[in-house]
């Protein structure tokens, strides 16, 4: 049974994780002496001093919240295997582009493991010391990615340590696994136990007593009991367990020691603990993220809010670039409920999402879910403040208060949140931000807006979006106006119209009032649903952001070909992807010109690099309908003598378990996937060791009552191949 405050503690843990990472990232790898000389003790964010962004893409964050998706992807089974977690790596990682430190075989532990997995070596062999060597297999990555596994096992350190072992073994071995198990066990127990020594006692009981991690923790606890100065304990750690003794780039042992040292000497204080672990240096963002997560879980939101304003600059924002582009631009609240849903499923409990599953619901104290003031233009600057407050919700307990000040003609108030790569993240240093938009033309936006009863006068509100237009500048489009008298509640709806190919970057709320208007409007929820209805192609104005809206899992996707799309894959299967898991029933179509290749085509319900349905023209003179899920299953196939350099219109419609496929408006397949059908996902071009081109891809609502039609070229027997119970003729 999960704790009563499970959601709030997971939220605090995620906030602690991302705050710790953002704090330590700008000076990652610096030694203690340089930090002291150039920055002093690290008591707050220093990114501005180093001319670095605060909200960054980081492997510590992306890996932490991506790899636990193995659980829901495999039915939230407690019997999840390392091999299945390894498959999750292959599905969500875009090679050489996302999540991992891509520094080569034997340099990066995770890159080494990825190459083993890609080569057909399953976990745990993929991360074993026997295959990769002791030094490579004992680096820090097992620990930095582990927090998510702990947060789905609240109050159950044994389960957390076991999940940590399975997850860590994909890429690591030995001391790296033991360190990961200690952190996971401590974090899981922290949901129900506040004594730091009890957390450590329980965690070390789950690893071998003859391990280096076990011995080092005992030594640090002994130093702490005798020596009040953390600097002296740090000196001893350097003397006995520092990186020069273990080899590799970023070894687990010294960094794990810094985590334990800061927890013991931090006096249970969020700011002091982060100060110690960051001031000591070395792998600062990793260590700081683990410390922040554990203290967030253990002491809750009040511990984070007790010191400086850690949360305000962050505004819940985080980026997770993976092959599932619709989850790349996200927030701490959204990720909280993903983990909570897994944790409750493992505990045999139902999970009821707040406010009927609204994307933005503000139900956790202090949450803003990425909403910020839009002060980039003179007409709105200084007119608004934001606050998460209790009440003013018809189906929940909290809302987002928009406190507007001195509105007038030409002076409006605006607050918005990102739905795609925001302007400040376009040129992200380090790990680039690969993402798909989350809001598309054809979908219907809904919101709940309430005017405070004490407002002196009515206010006019409207939803608005901003999309990338000419010169990749943001273009604003507004929805219908809604008049909100004092005390009124209204739920506006707005179906997004075409943006002419420009990806939608933001959605927000705008307030207009008479001269001097001052008051508050509460956002109860904001969400959208329905099928996308759009053409994906190069906009008439060109630019680059339409190109960035595609998550590129192909080797070559240039911008300067005559066609909007020309894709080439040198080895294996490549996908060019867009859309989200919220897309369920729809039709995708594209003109596809094969130039060379083993197979080319389109895909629907794409959930990553290795989970999708695809309609493919194959080089053996066949057309195939395949399902990629832990390998490839042919649902149906038939002879089709396609010609290189000729364009074919391919269409694939998915409605529930039913799949229908057309080539040049001729129905070729009509089957049901009755064996674990994929439930939702985006669209993609697919190319296997070859090249294709296309002018556009369209996504439309499914035509549920489509009348079957087929020419004499296609017979009912010839076009369907039934494979046991995997596919059936409709």
Specify the pTM: 0.95
706 has a pLDDT exceeding 50: no
pLDDT digits (tens, 9 = 90+) for 213-228: 999 999 999 999 999 9
Number of domains in the chain: 3
557 and 550 in contact (C-beta within 8 Å)? yes
Q: How far, in Å, CA of 591 to CA of 602, rounded?
A: 10
Q: How far, in Å, CA of 464 to CA of 355, rounded?
A: 22
> Would you say residue 543 lies in a domain?
no
Residue 456's φ and ψ, nearest 5 degrees, are: -80, -20
> Would you say residue 342 lies in a domain?
no
Q: How confident is the model at residue 429 (pLDDT cuts 50, 70, 90)?
A: confident
From the number of C-beta atoms within 10 Å of its C-beta (0-12, 13-18, 19+), residue 560 rates as exposed
From the number of C-beta atoms within 10 Å of its C-beta (0-12, 13-18, 19+), residue 475 rates as middle
Same structural domain, 43 and 186? yes
**Mean pLDDT over residues 409-421, rounded?**
96
Neighbours of 484 (CB within 10 A): 22
Q: How confident is the model at residue 711 (pLDDT cuts 50, 70, 90)?
A: very low
Same structural domain, 375 and 296? no
235 has a pLDDT exceeding 80: yes
Q: What is the pLDDT of residue 704?
A: 58
From the number of C-beta atoms within 10 Å of its C-beta (0-12, 13-18, 19+), residue 574 rates as buried
pLDDT digits (tens, 9 = 90+) for 118-176: 999 999 999 999 999 999 999 999 999 999 999 999 999 999 999 999 999 999 999 99
Q: What is the pLDDT of residue 1?
A: 87
Run of H or E residues at 476:
strand 474-478
Same structural domain, 562 and 454? no
719 has a pLDDT exceeding 90: no
CA distances from residue 222 to 227, 241, 600 in whole angstroms, order as listed: 9, 15, 63
Write out the residue range of the structural domain in which residue 449 sits: 354-529
Same structural domain, 62 and 159? yes
Q: What is the pLDDT of residue 430?
A: 82
pLDDT digits (tens, 9 = 90+) for 559-577: 999 999 999 999 999 999 9
Q: How far, in Å, CA of 238 to CA of 244, rounded?
A: 9
* CATH assignment at residue 308: 1.10.4080.10
727 and 597 in contact (C-beta within 8 Å)? no
Run of H or E residues at 390:
strand 384-390
Helix (DSSP H) and strand (DSSP E) numbers for the chain = 22, 29
pLDDT digits (tens, 9 = 90+) for 293-310: 999 999 999 999 999 999
**Mean pLDDT over residues 637-654, rounded?**
96
> Would you say residue 661 lies in a domain?
yes
* CATH assignment at residue 480: 2.60.120.260
pLDDT, the chain, mean: 94
Same structural domain, 32 and 181? yes
Last residue of a domain, one of 471, 498, 529: 529
Same structural domain, 52 and 198? yes
pLDDT digits (tens, 9 = 90+) for 602-627: 999 999 999 999 999 998 899 999 99
Run of H or E residues at 524:
strand 517-529
pLDDT digits (tens, 9 = 90+) for 514-543: 999 999 999 999 999 999 999 999 999 999
Same structural domain, 119 and 218? yes
Q: What is the pLDDT of residue 447?
A: 98
419 has a pLDDT exceeding 60: yes
| Start-to-end Cα distance in the chain | 43
| The Cα angle at residue 217 between residues 213 and 222, in degrees rounded to 5 | 150
Same structural domain, 564 and 493? no
**Mean pLDDT over residues 339-361, rounded?**
97
Last residue of a domain, one of 494, 529, 564: 529
Same structural domain, 264 and 376? no
Q: How far, in Å, CA of 346 to CA of 71, rounded?
A: 9
Q: What is the pLDDT of residue 727?
A: 42
Residue 404, SS3?
A: strand
Residue 227 half-sphere exposure toward CB, CA atoms < 13 A: 16
Same structural domain, 373 and 438? yes
Run of H or E residues at 647:
none
Residue 112 half-sphere exposure toward CB, CA atoms < 13 A: 25
Neighbours of 438 (CB within 10 A): 23
Same structural domain, 598 and 472? no
> Would you say residue 544 lies in a domain?
no
pLDDT digits (tens, 9 = 90+) for 655-696: 999 999 999 999 999 999 999 899 999 999 999 999 999 999
615 and 684 in contact (C-beta within 8 Å)? no
Residues 6+ apart with CB under 8 A from 286: 21, 24, 60, 140, 143, 144, 250, 255
> Would you say residue 416 lies in a domain?
yes
Helix, strand, coil percent content, the chain, rounded in steps of 5: 30, 25, 40
Same structural domain, 655 and 521? no
pLDDT digits (tens, 9 = 90+) for 350-359: 999 999 999 9
467 and 502 in contact (C-beta within 8 Å)? yes
> Would you say residue 574 lies in a domain?
yes
Q: What is the pLDDT of residue 378?
A: 81
pLDDT digits (tens, 9 = 90+) for 75-88: 999 999 999 999 99
Closest Cα to residue 635, out of 689, 675, 576, 584?
A: 675
Q: What is the pLDDT of residue 377?
A: 75
* CATH assignment at residue 702: 2.60.120.560
CA distances from residue 206 to 258, 263, 641, 666, 683 in whole angstroms, order as listed: 20, 19, 61, 61, 44
Last residue of a domain, one of 461, 496, 529: 529
> Would you say residue 33 lies in a domain?
yes
Residue 254, SS3?
A: helix
649 has a pLDDT exceeding 80: yes
Closest Cα to residue 642, out of 670, 600, 613, 684?
A: 600
**DSSP codes, 482-509:** EEE-TT-EE--EEE----TTPPEEEEEE
> Would you say residue 447 lies in a domain?
yes
Residue 279's φ and ψ, nearest 5 degrees, are: -65, -30
């Amino acid at each position: 049974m999960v704790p009563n405050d499970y959601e709030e503690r997971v939220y605090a843990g995620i906030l602690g994780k991302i705050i710790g990472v953002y704090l330590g990232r700008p000076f990652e790898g610096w030694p203690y002496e340089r930090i002291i000389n150039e920055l002093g003790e690290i008591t707050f964010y220093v990114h501005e001093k180093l001319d670095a962004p605060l909200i960054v893409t980081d492997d510590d964050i992306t890996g932490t919240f991506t790899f636990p998706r193995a659980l829901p992807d495999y039915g939230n089974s407690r019997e999840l295997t390392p091999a299945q977690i390894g498959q999750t790596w292959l599905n969500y990682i875009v090679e050489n582009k996302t999540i991992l430190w891509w520094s080569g075989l034997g340099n990066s532990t995770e890159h080494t493991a990825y190459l083993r997995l890609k080569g057909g070596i399953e976990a745990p062999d993929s991360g074993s010391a026997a295959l990769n060597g002791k030094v490579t297999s004992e680096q820090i990555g097992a620990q930095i990615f582990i927090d998510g596994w702990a947060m789905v096992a609240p109050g159950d350190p044994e389960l957390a340590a076991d999940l940590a072992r399975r997850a860590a073994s994909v890429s690591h071995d030995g001391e790296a696994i033991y360190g990961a198990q200690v952190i996971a066990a401590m974090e899981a127990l922290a949901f129900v136990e506040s004594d730091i020594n009890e957390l450590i006692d329980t965690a070390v009981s789950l690893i071998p007593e003859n391990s280096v991690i076990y011995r080092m923790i005992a030594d640090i606890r002994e130093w702490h009991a005798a020596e009040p100065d953390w600097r002296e304990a740090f000196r001893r750690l350097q003397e006995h367990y520092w990186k020069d003794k273990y080899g590799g780039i970023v070894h687990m042992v010294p960094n794990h020691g810094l985590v334990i040292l800061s927890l013991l000497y931090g006096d249970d204080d969020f700011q002091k603990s982060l100060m110690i672990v960051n001031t000591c240096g070395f792998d600062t963002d990793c260590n700081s993220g683990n410390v922040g997560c554990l203290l967030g879980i253990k002491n809750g939101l009040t511990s984070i809010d007790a010191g400086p304003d850690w949360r305000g600059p962050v505004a819940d924002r985080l980026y997770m670039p993976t092959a599932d582009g619709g989850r790349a631009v996200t927030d701490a609240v959204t990720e909280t409920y993903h983990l909570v849903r897994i944790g409750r499923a493992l505990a045999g409990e139902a999970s009821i999402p707040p406010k009927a599953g609204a994307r933005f619901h503000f139900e956790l104290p202090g949450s803003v879910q990425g909403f910020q003031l839009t002060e980039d233009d003179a007409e709105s600057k200084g007119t608004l403040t934001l606050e998460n407050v209790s009440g003013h919700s018809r189906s929940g307990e909290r809302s987002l208060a928009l406190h507007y000040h001195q509105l007038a003609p030409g002076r409006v108030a605006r607050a918005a949140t990102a739905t795609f790569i925001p302007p400040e993240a376009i040129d992200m240093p380090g790990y680039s931000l690969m993402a798909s938009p989350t809001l598309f033309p054809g979908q219907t936006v809904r919101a709940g807006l309430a005017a405070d009863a004490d407002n002196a006068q009515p206010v006019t509100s409207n939803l608005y979006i901003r999309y990338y237009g000419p010169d990749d500048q943001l273009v604003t489009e507004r929805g219908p106006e809604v008049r909100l008298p004092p005390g009124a509640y209204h739920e506006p709806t707005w179906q997004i119209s075409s943006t002419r190919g420009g990806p939608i970057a933001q959605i927000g709320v705008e307030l207009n009032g008479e001269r001097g208007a001052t008051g508050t409007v509460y956002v109860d929820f904001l969400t959208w649903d329905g099928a996308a209805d759009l053409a994906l192609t190069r906009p008439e104005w060109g630019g680059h952001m339409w190109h960035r809206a595609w998550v590129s899992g192909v080797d070559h996707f240039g911008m300067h070909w005559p066609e909007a799309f020309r894709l080439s894959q040198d080895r294996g299967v490549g996908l060019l992807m867009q859309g989200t898991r919220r897309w369920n029933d729809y039709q995708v179509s594209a003109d596809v010109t094969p130039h060379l290749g083993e197979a080319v085509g389109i895909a629907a319900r794409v959930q990553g690099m290795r989970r999708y349905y695809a309609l493919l023209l194959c080089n053996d003179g066949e057309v195939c309908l395949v399902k990629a899920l832990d390998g490839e299953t042919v649902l149906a196939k038939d002879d089709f003598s396609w010609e290189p350099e000729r364009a074919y219109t391919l269409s694939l419609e998915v409605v529930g378990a039913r799949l229908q496929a057309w080539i040049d408006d001729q129905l070729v397949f009509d089957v049901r996937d009755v064996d674990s059908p994929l439930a939702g996902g985006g669209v993609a071009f697919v190319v296997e060791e070859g090249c294709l081109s296309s002018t556009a891809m369209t996504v439309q609502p499914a035509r549920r009552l489509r009348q079957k039609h087929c020419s004499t070229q296609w017979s009912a027997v010839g076009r369907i191949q039934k494979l046991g119970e995997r596919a059936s003729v409709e």
